[in-house]
């Protein structure tokens, strides 16, 4: 078994999709559209997909009120400080400025403009 996708219910799927394309380099591999505005996005690896939608059957979670350790998406970064600064200029909010963990990993935690937590990771030893 392998993970196909991770899905998030958001208030503005079109805007979030555009932001993730522009600032995190994801690309649309399937646009379902419809009432939920569903899009599937892939990263450079094409291994795990992100589904973004706004399904009227459920309430949109208040991601901004959730501690980032409860839910976050982690992105590989070659330069955590540079990417943290760049994303902050693009509307993300820095939660934890770049730091080096005891394992030697360079990490930072941010929130995208919709409140969803994003972690930037430069691992001392690649996963």
DSSP tag of 115:
S
The pLDDT assigned to 12 comes to: 94
User: Could you list the mean pLDDT of each consecutive 10-residue stretch along the chain, which spans 127 residues?
Assistant: 93 96 97 93 92 96 96 96 98 98 97 97 93
> How far is residue 80's CA from residue 65's CA, in Å, rounded to a whole number?
24
**3 state SS of 125:** coil
CB 17 within 8 A of CB 52: yes
The pLDDT assigned to 127 comes to: 84
**According to DSSP H, which parts of the chain are helical?**
13-24, 80-89
Domain ranges for the chain: 5-53, 63-122
| Domains 5-53 and 63-122 alike in fold | yes
Sign of the Cα torsion 26, 29, 33, 38 reads: negative
Question: What does pTM read for this prediction?
Answer: 0.93
> How far is residue 73's CA from residue 19's CA, in Å, rounded to a whole number?
15
Q: Which CATH class is domain 63-122?
A: alpha beta
What's the CATH number of domain 5-53, 1.10.1740.10, 3.10.180.10, 3.40.50.2300, 3.10.20.30?
3.10.180.10
> How far is residue 92's CA from residue 115's CA, in Å, rounded to a whole number?
8
> How far is residue 13's CA from residue 108's CA, in Å, rounded to a whole number?
25
Mutual orientation of helices 80-89 and 13-24 as an angle, nearest 10°?
140
């Amino acid at each position: 078994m392998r993970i196909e996708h991770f899905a998030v219910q958001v208030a503005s799927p079109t805007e979030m999709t555009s932001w993730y394309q522009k600032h995190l380099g994801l690309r649309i591999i399937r646009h379902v559209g419809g009432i939920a505005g569903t899009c599937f996005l892939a990263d450079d690896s094409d291994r795990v997909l992100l589904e973004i939608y706004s399904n009227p059957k459920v309430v949109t979670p208040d991601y901004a009120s959730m501690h980032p350790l409860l839910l976050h998406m982690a992105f590989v970064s070659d330069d955590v400080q540079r990417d943290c600064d760049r994303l902050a200029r693009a509307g993300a909010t820095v939660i934890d400025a770049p730091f080096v963990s005891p394992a030697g990993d360079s990490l930072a935690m941010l929130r995208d403009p919709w409140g969803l937590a994003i972690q930037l990771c430069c691992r001392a030893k690649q996963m």
